[in-house]
Amino acid sequence: MQSYGDETRPLAALSLPSRIVIGVAACAVAVVVAMHLAMMFLHVAPSNTLSKQQGSLISDYVYPEYEQNWKLFAPNPLQQNIAVQARAQLRTEDGTTRTTGWTDVTARDGQDIRHNPMPSHTQQNQLRRGWEFLVNSHNAQNQATGLRGELSERYIKRIMMLRLDGEWTADGGRVERIQVRSMTTPVSPPPWSSEKISVKPVYRVLPWWQVTADDLPKGATNQ
C-alpha cells in the first residue's frame, strides 16, 4: 500500500517558516481576543478609573455591533411594549394640504421578524434604538437637550421618510411635515398573578417636524 505521509504530523515536524507563520497568527488571534474581552469587560463593569478615562474609545468599539443589553436580567425587566408610529402632512398637486393616518412602523418590523430565522439588524434594532436615542436626549416636554437631541430628531425623521415617503406620496403630492408618536402598552400579568394593572395605551406625541431635502431618500426630490 502506498503511503501518502502522516497528515497529522506534529508542529515540530513543520519547517521553520511554517512554524513562524503559525506562531505569529496564533499570537495575533490571542491579542485580538484579549483586547475584545477587555473592552467588553470595561463596558459592562462598574465605572472605574480606566473606563472613565477611555470611555469614548470603549463606546466607539462596543456600539453598535457588540452592545450588551442586560434589561432582561435587571431588577425591573421590561414590562411594556412600545410601538413607534408616524403620519405626514402632504401638499397635494392642487395646492391643498392633507394629513395621512397613523402608520405603525414598529408593527411592520415585527411582521418582518416573526417566523424569520435570520432577521436583519435593521429590522430588529434600527427603529427601536433610534427611538431610545431620541427619548434619552429629550425632556418630558419633548424638547431636545443639546446637540444629541437634534441629531436624534433628524435620525428618526430620515428613518420615517426612507420607509414611508413612497407610500405617502403614491397618489401624488409631497411630504411637508411629519409627526411621530409612541404608544406604550403595559404587558398584562400572567393568569396566576394577583397583580392588577391598567393595560390602557399611553401616547407620547412629538411636535410636527418640517421635512427638508436632506431628509428625503437618496434620489428623491421635495418639489
pLDDT tens digit string along 163-187? 999 999 998 889 999 999 999 998 8
Taken in order 50, 37, 34, 63, the sign of the CA dihedral is: negative
Q: Tell me what pLDDT residue 86 has.
A: 97
Q: Name the percent of the chain lying above pLDDT 90.
A: 43
pLDDT > 70: what percent of the chain? 85
Alpha carbon of 95 to those of 52, 165, 174, 176: distances in Å? 55, 18, 10, 12
Cβ atoms 157, 211 nearer than 8 A: yes
Grid cell for residue 117: 430565522
Q: State the Cα–Cα distance between residues 152 and 138, nearest whole angstrom.
A: 9
Q: What is the pLDDT of residue 197?
A: 81
Give the tens place of pLDDT for each residue, 133-154: 999 999 999 999 888 899 999 9
Q: Confirm if 181 and 102 have CB atoms less than 8 A apart.
A: yes
Asked whether the beta carbons of 87 and 100 are under 8 A apart, the reply is: yes
pLDDT band at 64 (very low <50, low <70, confident <90, very high): low
- Burial letters for 202-221: b for 16+ Cβ neighbours within 10 Å, e otherwise? eebebeebebeeebbeeebe
Backbone angles phi, psi at 15, to 5 degrees: -70, 160
Confidence at residue 39, expressed as pLDDT on a 0 to 100 scale: 86
pLDDT digits (tens, 9 = 90+) for 5-52: 455 556 667 788 888 888 899 999 999 999 989 888 888 788 788 878
Residue 216 confidence (pLDDT) above 90: no
pLDDT of 95 reads 87
Question: Quick check: 69 pLDDT over 80?
Answer: no
Q: What is the pTM of this model?
A: 0.64
Which three three-digit cell numbers place residue 91? 401638499
CB 145 within 8 A of CB 139: yes
pLDDT confidence band for 65 (50 / 70 / 90): low
Q: Is 205 helix (H, G, I), strand (E, B) or coil?
A: strand
Q: Let me know: does 105 contact 205? Beta carbons within 8 Å.
A: no
Query: What mean pLDDT is predicted for residues 100-105?
Result: 96
- Residues 146 and 138: their CA atoms lie apart, in Å, by 9
Residue 60's pLDDT band (boundaries 50, 70, 90)? confident
Over its C-alpha atoms, the chain yields an Rg (Å, rounded) of 26
Mean of pLDDT over the chain: 84
What would the mean pLDDT of 73-91 be, rounded to a whole number?
A: 82
